[in-house]
Amino acid sequence: MSVAVTKLKSGINVVTDTMAHLETASLGVWVNAGSRDERRDEHGISHFLEHMAFKGTRRRSARQIAEEIEAVGGDLNAATGAETTAYYARVLKPDVPLALDVLADILSEPAFDREELAREQNVIVQEIGAVADTPDDLIFEHLQDVAFPDQPLGRSILGTPKTVRSFDGAKLRDYLARNYRGPDMVVAAAGAVDHEAVVAEVEQRFSSFNGAASPVPEPASFGGGSHVEKRDLEQVHIALALSGVPQTDPTLYSLQAFTNVLGGGMSSRLFQEAREKRGLCYSIYSFHMAYSDVGMFGLYAGTDAADTSELMRLVVDEIANTAETLSEPEIARAKAQMKAGLLMALESSGERIGQLARQMIVYGRPLAIDELVAKVEAVTVENARAAGRALLRRGKLATAMLGLGSGLESAAAIAESLTRRAA
């Protein structure tokens, strides 16, 4: 594999990975802007803009955008996050110029037709309603809000029906002009691509994206607290979070290993103890989300109302015990999982462009696989335990609970005991 990077005069970084054995290519545009870059009256506009980009340009209708890509057997999609928005395509080798032209067109010349705006507002309001009807999605919206209260990072990426219906073409163009600028954009391509050819296409088609870098969002801070909501559900849904670490923190890989040992798969402590041994739940897992300046360690479980308190006691005990008793075989298993994830991503052009784009945004350069593997290999039992203990010492806990039963409040109180153990 051959990775190459070129920074254009506009500030756009073009990064490619030529995979000579492939006849297809994945390519996309990553913008270093997402929901945390929104002003209060723009709540949900990043996601809405992502939808509207596909609803017509000055040169193409929404139907033409879809048909041109699908006529050559390709596909086109996008995703909005808290800190980035991505637009990407997969096509056959000869159709790379077409894909880049369509991607440039939807971002530089969106029409924002009034009828399309109204239709897509209805679609997204329905999407918001679907999340409200899906408790194992809704619980994470509540958790994010409690973890980062009164901050853009704590708000739902989707917005609210009120804010979504307030967006018009002028507001979308203002957000686009403020945040979609060359220095904050990465064009990534992998597979059957030629670096110089991709650079030439991007230089020509993305020339309108220039100017200074977009404003840096306000720093985020982990808050903490509890959200308990009584709803008539078959299960009680539990989520908790502790303050984690940002993307460039030197302890990131150690914390990820701790997270994997605790609840990262079927062999994890929580899965084995809570599900396999005690039958307290069907789903339970832990995770860590790293942002540019903060992080969030989290845990989710769904259980019967009668088992809520017992499960929470188990969770509190396992988190605290793992930080003290995590073993060498567990670390070896966690490191193998982490390395496999990194190496498997190299086999997929779609995974590869996401990996490269994120590295360019976070580190300003692509990271060699040997460098990434070395970071994983550097994790030891002691620094993984230290990462777990540091979670508890930060002292702030966010909990969200959804369901029925008298045990919700007591479970929330049990969760609070977690941070007291490190006091």
Q: What is the pLDDT of residues 43-85, one digit of tens each?
A: 999 999 999 999 999 999 999 999 999 999 999 999 999 999 9
Q: Report the share of the chain in percent with pLDDT over 90.
A: 92
Q: Please report whether residue 353 resides in a domain.
A: yes
Tokens found for residue 358: 């994120």
Tokens of 279: 């039958």
Q: What is the pLDDT of residues 148-171, one digit of tens each?
A: 999 999 999 999 999 999 999 999
The residues near 204 (Cβ < 8 Å, ≥ 6 apart) are none
Please check whether residues 194 and 229 belong to one and the same domain. Answer: no
Same domain, 334 and 377: yes
* pLDDT at residue 395 in the model: 80
User: Is position 210 within any domain?
Assistant: no
Token pair, residue 287, equals 């995770």
Tokens of 414: 């049990």
Say if residue 295 is in the same domain as residue 255: yes
In a domain, 216, yes or no: no
pLDDT at 363 over 90: yes
The question of whether 382 is a catalytic residue gets the answer no
Q: Is residue 213 part of a domain?
A: no
Total of domains in the chain: 2
Give the pLDDT band of residue 422 (cuts 50, 70, 90): low
pTM (2 decimals)?
A: 0.94
**Residue after which a domain boundary falls, among 173, 205, 237:** 205
- Average pLDDT score, the chain: 95
Note whether 183 and 60 are same-domain residues.
yes
CA distances to 43, 124, 125 from 165, rounded to whole Å, are 11, 9, 8
- Residues 294, 375, single domain; the answer is yes
Is the C-alpha dihedral spanning 381, 387, 388, 390 positive or negative? positive
How far, in Å, CA of 253 to CA of 367, rounded?
A: 15
Q: Are 48 and 118 in contact (CB under 8 A)?
A: no
> What local confidence, expressed as pLDDT, does residue 250 receive?
97
Summarize the confidence of residues 30-55 as an average pLDDT: 97
Residues 245 and 118 in one domain: no
Residue 411 pLDDT more than 90?
Answer: no
Q: What's the pLDDT tens digit per position in 290-338?
A: 999 999 999 999 999 999 999 999 999 999 999 999 999 999 999 999 9
Q: Is residue 22 part of a domain?
A: yes
Distance from the Cα of residue 267 to its chain's centroid:
24
Residue 307 lies in a domain: yes
Domain boundary among 170, 205, 240: 205
Examine the domain organization and report whether 358 and 323 are in the same domain: yes
Q: What pLDDT, in 10s, does the model give residues 101-139?
A: 999 999 999 999 999 999 999 999 999 999 999 999 999
What CATH number corresponds to the domain at position 166? 3.30.830.10
Partners of 403 in beta bridges: 230
Do 178 and 48 fall into the same domain?
Answer: yes
Q: How confident is the model at residue 417 (pLDDT cuts 50, 70, 90)?
A: confident
Mean pLDDT of 394-401: 91
> How far apart (Å, rounded) are the C-alpha atoms in residues 190 and 90?
10
| 413 band by pLDDT with thresholds 50, 70 and 90 | confident
Query: Domain boundary residue among 205, 233, 251?
Result: 205
Whether residue 331 sits in one domain with residue 229? yes
Spatial contact of 46 and 34, defined as CB atoms under 8 Å apart: yes
The answer to whether residue 123 is domain-embedded is: yes
pLDDT at site 405: 77
Neighbours of 335 (CB within 10 A): 21
Q: Are residues 184 and 305 in the same domain?
A: no
Q: What is the mean pLDDT of residues 341-370?
A: 95
Q: Does the pLDDT at position 406 exceed 80?
A: no
One of 42, 50, 83, 318 is an active-site residue; which one?
Answer: 50
Overall residue count recorded for the chain in this entry: 423
Regarding whether 291 and 190 lie in a shared domain, the answer is: no
Please check whether residues 126 and 247 belong to one and the same domain.
no
State the residue range of the domain holding 198.
2-205
Asked if residue 176 is part of any domain, the answer here is yes
State how far the Cα of 371 lies from the Cα of 377, in Å rounded to an integer. 10
